[in-house]
Chains A and B, each alone.
Chain A
Amino acid sequence: MDMPSSETQLISSPSEDDLPLPCLYIDRLSLYYNSQLALQDVTLSIPKGSITALIGPSGCGKTSFLSCLNRLTDLIPNCKICGQVRLEDLDILHPKTDTVALRRRVGTIFQKPNPFPLSIWKNIAFPLREHGVKDRQRIDEIVEQVLVDVGLWDEVKDRLKSPALRLSGGQKQRLCIARTLALQPEILLMDEPCSALDPITTHIVEDLIVSLRGKYTILIVTHNLAQARRIADYVALFWVKDGSGRLIEAGSVKQIFENPQQPITGAYISGSRG
């Protein structure tokens, strides 16, 4: 069934309270891997300070979509992007855009926690130094601040110089979030951040994500509909149609889960498809 591809917006129902201004605009974004269309004509606006869950079955381009938003696609050979992505006044996809500054403003958390093979302290200090923070005292302050923010400080304050690879899975993921927060991003992209973690740790990380609402704009890819319901403000459903990933529907959590407009959405939510 056809849907107007360029009309899908996030804000639909007039009964919503005044919504925050969008800060991330995606307009007719298409992605090609090796000349094969992987993602087609995605148009979406992300409100500032919100948590948006990207849901949908595997393989429909959610991760690829995230990669476009901070130009991590540059690392993938034979990858072509069309369309426009704007972070307030910054044209993300423009070839002359400074990707280093971009990726400071748009941070990524990966599915599998990937701290560097360095000490806990260095994991955070190293990117800070590279981005211009040279003062040792300032670095120490920031390290403590972000570790407190992610709830790791009490657990690791006595062993900041020990290898980060010795932490547990949940601690590693929280460390990855901490080092991203240290750069003071505006947007956080999270690709299934809890899927590699056990339920208890998942709970801890989810609480952390919720606590970041408002200060940061968060996009989180998740397979877990319950999780989306729990923590997200807005939901965007992706699906594979005609061989490429599409955005089917986007709206507030309430609207998507209780009053989906598209049949596919309804089917996926209820579990009868996907």
Chain B
Amino acid sequence: MTSSAKKTSFPQNVDRLLVWSLRGIAVIVGTIVLFIIGFLILESLPVFRKVGVLPFLRDTSWNPMQGVYSLTPMLISTLLVVAGAVLLAAPIGILSALFCHYYAPKPVANLYRRLLEIMSGIPGVVYGFWGLVVLVPLINRLHPPGTSLLTGILLLALLITPTIALIADASLAGVPQEYLQGAVALSLSRWGTIREIVLPAARSGLFTSIILGTGRAIGETIIVLMVCGNIVQIPSSVFEPIRTLPANIALEMDFALGDHRSALFVSGLLLMGVNLVLVLLAEAIAQEEIYHN
């Protein structure tokens, strides 16, 4: 019926067309991130050419209209607000996960998980709005002004706690049953079991949850924009207003022109850099855990 030299059939040709179209699509998708980095660099070049890199670290303050470009106060403010949020959210998140697994009766745990899932879907703008309307006046009564580092920390912590809790919850679920049975057999206390057996076993998942939460906090613009006061400075107390890098971009993009606009792209590059470091850190930890286990 057929000989070996027959041309390829219609279905085979369709298949080949499909594969090449898909490859084309994947190439487009794969290059998006390159485009992003490329454009960031492209738009940053004007100001780099004009003033170089050092002013972004060494200048006295941020005032691009006067040619002053230090990103340092805002970088530090960003790191402070994120660190504060993570320091608050990580224990709360992990304890919440422990609650779901080891302390709450099943229906309560499931309800709590649902709650966390709903909370993790609440967008930053909602937290920011509530913070502006409720939290800021409250903190203002404590120590004016209400818009401050503290408000930002509290709201960011609210934002990322569900993320940390849910991922920690998933990684606790991965702790093998045998470990727990062994602990019961040795009549270890609950705290002992958790401290010595569960937490070490779920260590990499817990780290991942914290890193993901940190990433989310770094990228969050709206909350900080709404409740932190937006003053460029290195705060000397938690009650002082601050401005973070993302908030700065959002604020000034409106009217920034020329070198100013270019400088904003530089800060965008810095943000991407910080995020990249975080992602690499997460991978390194994941690799090491796999290696050791």
Do A and B interact directly, with beta carbons closer than 8 Å? yes
Inter-subunit contact B9/A90 (CB<8 Å): no
Inter-subunit contact A89/B3 (CB<8 Å): yes
Inter-subunit contact B2/A101 (CB<8 Å): yes
Shortest beta-carbon distance, A270 to chain B, in Å? 43
Interface of A is mostly: mixed
Inter-subunit contact B6/A98 (CB<8 Å): yes
Inter-subunit contact A98/B8 (CB<8 Å): yes
Contacts of B9 in A (CB 8 A): 98, 100-101
Of the candidates A90, A94, A97, A100, the one whose C-beta lies within 8 Å of that of B11 is A100
Q: Which residues in chain A, 151-170, are within 8 Å of chain B measured between CB atoms?
A: none
Shortest beta-carbon distance, B202 to chain A, in Å? 34
Tally A residues with Cβ within 8 Å of B. 12
Shortest beta-carbon distance, B16 to chain A, in Å? 12
Scoring B3, B4, B11 by chain A CB atoms within 10 A of each residue's CB, the highest score goes to B4
Inter-subunit contact B5/A96 (CB<8 Å): yes
Contacts of A101 in B (CB 8 A): 1-2, 9
Q: Which residues in chain A, 104-145, are within 8 Å of chain B measured between CB atoms?
A: 105, 130
Shortest beta-carbon distance, A260 to chain B, in Å? 37
Q: Mark B1-30, 1 if CB is under 8 A from A, else 0.
A: 111111111011000000000000000000
Inter-subunit contact A91/B4 (CB<8 Å): yes
Inter-subunit contact B12/A98 (CB<8 Å): yes
Q: Which residues in chain B, 175-223, are within 8 Å of chain A measured between CB atoms?
A: none
Inter-subunit contact A98/B5 (CB<8 Å): no
Question: What are 15 A-B contacts with C-beta separation under 8 Å?
Answer: A90-B3, A90-B4, A94-B4, A96-B4, A96-B6, A96-B8, A97-B2, A98-B9, A99-B12, A100-B9, A100-B11, A100-B12, A101-B1, A101-B2, A101-B9
Report which A residues bind B (CB closer than 8 A). 89-91, 94, 96-101, 105, 130
Separation of A96 and B4 alpha carbons in the complex (Å): 6
Separation of A96 and B2 alpha carbons in the complex (Å): 11
Residue ID in chain B nearest A130 by CB atoms: B11
Separation of A91 and B5 alpha carbons in the complex (Å): 9
Residue ID in chain A nearest B3 by CB atoms: A89
Q: A96-B6, A98-B6 are in contact. Are A90 and B1 (CB under 8 A)?
A: yes
Contacts of A94 in B (CB 8 A): 4-5
Separation of A96 and B3 alpha carbons in the complex (Å): 9
Shortest beta-carbon distance, A185 to chain B, in Å? 12
Separation of A119 and B5 alpha carbons in the complex (Å): 38
Inter-subunit contact B4/A97 (CB<8 Å): yes
Known: A90-B2, A99-B12, A100-B9. 12 other contacts (CB 8 A): A90-B1, A90-B4, A96-B4, A96-B5, A96-B6, A97-B6, A98-B6, A98-B8, A98-B9, A98-B12, A100-B12, A101-B9
Separation of A99 and B10 alpha carbons in the complex (Å): 11
Shortest beta-carbon distance, B225 to chain A, in Å? 49
Shortest beta-carbon distance, A73 to chain B, in Å? 16
Separation of A189 and B176 alpha carbons in the complex (Å): 43
Separation of A101 and B1 alpha carbons in the complex (Å): 10
Separation of A99 and B8 alpha carbons in the complex (Å): 9
Residue ID in chain B nearest A91 by CB atoms: B4
